């Protein structure tokens, strides 16, 4: 289906648009659709409001202007999306969610989850990044957070991030080497992004081969230990001294 029309309906409507006004026979001759189905298709388009009918002998059909049809389809699609979203938001289960670790593989899913976490931060967010391009994706959210929350951004090389308007802490080469090029089996992992939000939820993004993956954790004890590790990163022995 295209824009709410079946393939035959779409062909018939396009045919009528080009003919401006036509009989069922003329539509049939232009579209090469089964003659026995033309009247049924035109009748269906008329019920949907896409075709106007002038009764007579013969009966003539005229397509409603495309701009009006597209507007109608757009309104119906928007309403359908809103209704579906409302229904999904109303779904609930009697049993509580027990999983505190989530695995995300899609690029859109990863970025959407990061934005979701950044939008609900209340006090503090700690971020590690080795990819300026990826961090830039969240520039707007981070600028907003910087005004109201404690924002700590740790990077592997400050020089790579000079075009971004934030204060950065840089780790030493020794620490950088310890978190990059981790091999598990034959797969090499590189940490691109890590975030701890308000000390109770963390998200780690890494590249594995040519894919990007993320792990979200909501275990308080795990987030606490991760925060301790990143606090250690801020000590002078780990953070590169400013030149």
Fold for 7-88, please state it. Answer: Arc Repressor Mutant, subunit A (1.10.10)
Tokens 């976490």 belong to 117
Of residues 206 and 164, the one with the higher pLDDT is 164
- pTM, rounded to two decimals: 0.59
Name which of 2-6, 37-41, 67-71, 124-128 the model is least confident about.
Answer: 2-6
Report residue 1's pLDDT band, with 50, 70 and 90 as the boundaries: very low
Distance CA 111, CA 144 (A): 17
Of residues 39 and 225, the one with the higher pLDDT is 39
CATH of domain 101-233: 3.30.870.10
Of 165, 113, 108, the residue nearest 142 (C-alpha) = 165
Report residue 46's pLDDT band, with 50, 70 and 90 as the boundaries: confident
**CATH topology agreement for domains 7-88 and 101-233:** no
Per-residue pLDDT for 66 more than 90?
no
Q: Where are the domains positioned within the chain?
A: 7-88, 101-233
Per-residue pLDDT for 243 more than 60?
no
């Amino acid at each position: 289906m295209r824009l709410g029309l079946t393939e035959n309906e779409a062909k018939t409507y396009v045919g009528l648009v080009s003919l401006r006004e036509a009989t069922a026979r003329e539509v049939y001759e232009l579209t090469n659709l089964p003659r026995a189905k033309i009247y049924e298709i035109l009748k269906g388009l008329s019920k949907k409001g896409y075709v106007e009918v002038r009764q007579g002998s013969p009966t003539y059909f005229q397509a409603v202007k495309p701009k009006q049809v597209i507007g109608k389809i757009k309104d119906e699609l928007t309403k359908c999306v809103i209704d579906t979203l409302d229904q999904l938001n109303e779904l609930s289960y009697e049993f509580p969610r027990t999983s505190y670790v989530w695995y995300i593989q899609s690029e859109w899913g990863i970025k959407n989850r990061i934005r979701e976490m950044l939008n609900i931060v209340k006090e503090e967010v700690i971020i590690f990044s080795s990819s300026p391009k990826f961090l830039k994706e969240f520039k707007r959210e981070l600028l907003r957070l910087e005004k109201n929350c404690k924002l700590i951004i740790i990077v592997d090389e400050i020089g790579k991030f000079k075009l971004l308007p934030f204060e950065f802490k840089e780790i030493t080469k020794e620490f950088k080497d310890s978190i990059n090029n981790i091999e598990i089996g034959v797969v090499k992992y590189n940490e691109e992004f890590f975030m701890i939000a308000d000390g109770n939820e963390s998200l780690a993004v890494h590249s594995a081969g040519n894919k990007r993956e993320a792990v979200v954790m909501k275990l308080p004890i795990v987030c606490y230990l991760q925060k301790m590790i990143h606090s250690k990163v801020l000590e002078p022995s780990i953070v590169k001294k400013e030149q």
